[in-house]
Amino acid sequence: MSTSAPAPAPAVVEMSRGVPRCSAPDATAAALGILIERHDQRLELRRTRPDERPVYFRARPGRLEWGADLTAFLPPGARPEPEPGALLALLHGQAAPPDATPLPGVRRLTMGTRIRVDAQGITVTRERSELPPPEGDLAHAVTRSLERAADGGAYALAYSGGLASGYLAVLAEAAGHRAHLVHADLVPAGDWHPPASVPGGEPRRIALDLHGMLDHHTVHGGELLPPLPDFEAPVRLHAALADATGLPVVSGALLESLISVRLPDVPRGARAWRLLGCEPFHISGTLRTLGEARELLDNRVVYTPGRRGAGSGDDARSGSGPDTQQLGAPPPPSPTGGSRLPWLTDEGRQAYETAHRGSMAVWQDHLDAEEPVVGRLVGGLAERGTAGALLPATDIGVLAAAAALAPRRLGRIRRGCFENHLPLRRAVTAAGVTGLRAGAPGHWLRLGAAAYLHRERRKIVSELERHCALGDLGLLEPRLVTASLRDGRSLAGQALPLLRLVWLDRWLRER
């Protein structure tokens, strides 16, 4: 296990002669995005910007502790012990609630949380995040965030060839920034396809070892919390780009999530005629009439046509039957329903579903009370983090500009297709950029997980047959895991959960 210097003690807020005193200077708090409001007989703390760097707090009788290092809240030599349900939630890729930590009594300080310290004690409340009035349109806000991110100097723009990174490249060129476009080549040599050309010149190709980024042997067990490839691989990717260029790296991650709208919220045209030619947007089958399409969107659900009457009459009318899926925005950033992984034991399945239900309830409460655009950002950060790069999506000015955009400005139905992220698409089209890649977030990671496991599966199977820590805990059946690794189709379909399992299991064994 690796050793490191002791963590600095948390800042403390206590009452002294009827007046709250904070041991940390205001400048320290401001650097972490915390605003301290001082009054005669009370003191209030709140987060003023998204959680680029986490801040934790613990309320005790007459005493508030807060700081940026989670280890500072642990007794000397102690380590957090994740619950079985929490481990299985990580295995499923389920993001923990935004204020959750593995330490009892310790929470993350999120936007919208206000902590008040006065003679009556400590009060923690949640309120809707305050966004400043937008200063100009979205393009102006993103351009200013790029300038602030690089402090006016040169920076490397991680250009994947997708819509968000293409949008940043267009804005950087228009603003005259010294942006060096870099493209990570993560595929086998000789199989590289250059990304779409953008203003500012061709991106510099940087070959990276994807297998090295996903190597589970880099997990040494000394980490405070279980590392996962979902977070570690992007961090390693951006670190490699920074090393290759010697510049801070800017990424368009999460930007598309902010500039997004759902089909039920876009203008449908007079008498909803646009829906007649729209591509299917439900689970399966064909809608029989325009009336059905309008009813479906008005109920904000998708369902399997022909099975609407399978539940009770109330279920069919409300869209709450077993074949329905709510379309409320934004949803909690996690899978829904029970476990779809076949390796869990009955005990593991029960532990996961209990943790899952509790997590979803907390997520829903948090998102219901939040600005939708802030909720999407919080969910994205919980799922993927900042990946070690500078993200314009986390800039408070960008959030304000995104929140000011009406749904009709974000998406539309055109020529039988639902077009989303319109401000980004229009900007790159106006700049003459074509051929941008379209793919779900993390698609490269899922492909990389499949390739890594296929190459290493004999060694991994041998390791798991000798010792499987999650199996020893009674949470899964090792023989079913090794069977999935040996079967090519099963491996490809479950590659990312399998890779998470391998990382988690090694962390447990090496502790």
Give 478-497 pLDDT, tens digit per residue. 999 999 999 999 999 999 99
Among candidate residues 452, 431, 450, the one with its CA nearest the CA of residue 494: 450
The 3-state DSSP class for residue 76 equals: coil
Task: To the nearest 10°, report the CA torsion of 336, 341, 343, 349.
Answer: 10
Q: Is pLDDT of 103 > 60? A: yes
- pLDDT (average), residues 239-251: 95
pTM: 0.85
pLDDT at 317: 32
pLDDT at 252: 94
Domain parsing of the chain, residue ranges: 11-126, 138-217+231-259+391-430
CB-based contact 395:377 (threshold 8 Å): no
CB-based contact 505:468 (threshold 8 Å): yes
Give the pLDDT band (50/70/90) at residue 340. Answer: confident
| Helix pair 372-384, 346-368: axis angle to 10 deg | 150
Q: Cα dist. 165→68, 254, 313, 366, 386 in Å?
A: 30, 11, 48, 29, 15
- pLDDT (average), residues 216-221: 93
Per-residue H/E/C for 173-232: HHCCCCEEEEEEECCCCCCCCCCCCCCCCCCEEEECCHHHHHCHHHCCCCCCCCCCHHHH
DSSP element (H, E) containing 121: strand 121-126
pLDDT at 319: 36
- pLDDT (average), residues 383-410: 91
What is the overall mean pLDDT for the chain? 84
d(CA 122, CA 404): 34
What distance, in Å, lies between the first and last C-alpha atoms of the chain? 7
Residue in the structure block whose two tokens are 């590659």: 495
Radius of gyration of the chain (CA): 24
CB-based contact 403:131 (threshold 8 Å): yes
The 3-state DSSP class for residue 404 equals: coil
* Peptide linkage before 330 cis (omega within 30 of 0): yes
Q: Which of 139-143, 286-290, 462-466 has the lowest mean pLDDT?
A: 286-290
Residue of 254 and 264 predicted with greater confidence? 254
How many other C-beta atoms are found inside a 10 Å radius of the C-beta of residue 117? 23
| Cα atoms in the Cβ-side hemisphere of radius 13 Å centred on 361 | 6
